[in-house]
Amino acid sequence: MNVAPKTLRHLSDLSEVGLTPAEQHAALERIAAQYAVAITPAMATLIDRNDPRDPIGRQFVPDPAELDVRPEENPDPIGDLAHSPVEGVVHRYPDRVLLKLTHVCAVYCRFCFRREMIGPDAKPLTPRQLDAALDYIAAHPEIWEVVLTGGDPLVLSARRLKQMVSRLAAIGHVKVIRVHTRMPVADPRRITGELVRALKAKGKATYVVLHANHARELTDAAREACARLIDAGIPMLSQSVLLAGVNDDPQTLGALMRALVECRIKPYYLHHADLAPGTSHMRTSIQHGQELMRALRGRLSGLCQPTYVLDIPGGHGKSPIGPSYLSGDGKGHYRVEDFNGGLHCYPPPK
């Protein structure tokens, strides 16, 4: 069945192209009434309709399992609201802030930690709120880096992005502008030369962090979109979420990390999936995540190693939770495990 060249936003759209079975529609209507749905043509064409467990479809197609909300889950699982001094700003760490420019995304991930706050019906920042957010940044000289997030900031036009980057560039103590986005994989056509130029500001460092969870997302078109950014002098990093049934085995996760490095994108974070409502079916255990990181360490180049992190519920920030290879006796003597599992003394015995 052919996919219409439009973003799929309604259950009828998903059904028309064979992504949702009719017997699930009653449950899916309840989900779609609460959480936004959107699948771009670029993503829809990657979904194997003959595989109900397809890893691309699992990320974007609503699932009746989303109706199962666990007691430990939270509408604000990483505590953004506790660190929001003004609307649109999250100031959790001393030297950087998040600036949430929009609540809209090109695609809506079923595991999103902000799923209660984003979607086409969410209200964007008003001009007055945006001014207040920028005034806050300007009034705090410790803010060295501003992370543009949302939603997805690259849903905005090149003109609006240029205005925003220019306003941030006018704040002397802001030295780094970081953009978190799915757009190069979700809709590669939007990464135009005009948009790339809009992200750059003289005297400031711009970084783009790509959210990708499976190697198949890095299509030829996506790779070309990333190359336009990188060739223009914008370094790219990646962040991925460890997801059950998507990338939770060594071969699949390793293929993703290698594909990113081949695109000149440095793997940055592998997030343990957050406690967002209705997402337990997509979370793995931390122990399993640590085992996967051990498998990567033994098999893949150091360029392919992300930092496995947990965003501590309640707003306490990210902590690395990867496996440890070092144990000590408290007297300066250690045992170090190599990638094959062998143990070695440090300092070596005389």
Q: Give the residue numbers marked as catalytic.
A: 92-93, 96, 105, 109, 112, 114, 274, 311, 318
Asked if residues 339 and 346 have their Cβ atoms less than 8 Å apart, the reply is no
Instruction: Read off φ and ψ for residue 326, nearest 5 degrees.
Output: -130, 135
| Neighbouring C-alpha atoms within 13 Å toward the C-beta of 97 | 26
Task: Confirm if 104 and 117 have CB atoms less than 8 A apart.
Answer: no
Residue 94 class from Cβ within 10 Å (0-12 exposed, 13-18 middle, 19+ buried)? Answer: exposed
Question: Is there a contact between 284 and 273 (Cβ–Cβ < 8 Å)?
Answer: yes
> Of 113, 232, 99, which is closest to residue 178 (Cα–Cα)?
99
DSSP state of 310: E
User: Exposed (0-12), middle (13-18) or buried (19+): which is 332, by Cβ within 10 Å?
Assistant: exposed
Identify which of 312, 307, 336, 311 has the alpha carbon closest to the alpha carbon of residue 322: 307
Other C-beta atoms within 10 Å of 173: how many? 12
117 contacts 103 by C-beta, under 8 angstroms: yes
Q: How far apart are CA 344 and CA 218, in angstroms?
A: 40
Query: CA-CA distance, 303 to 286, in Å (whole number)?
Result: 23
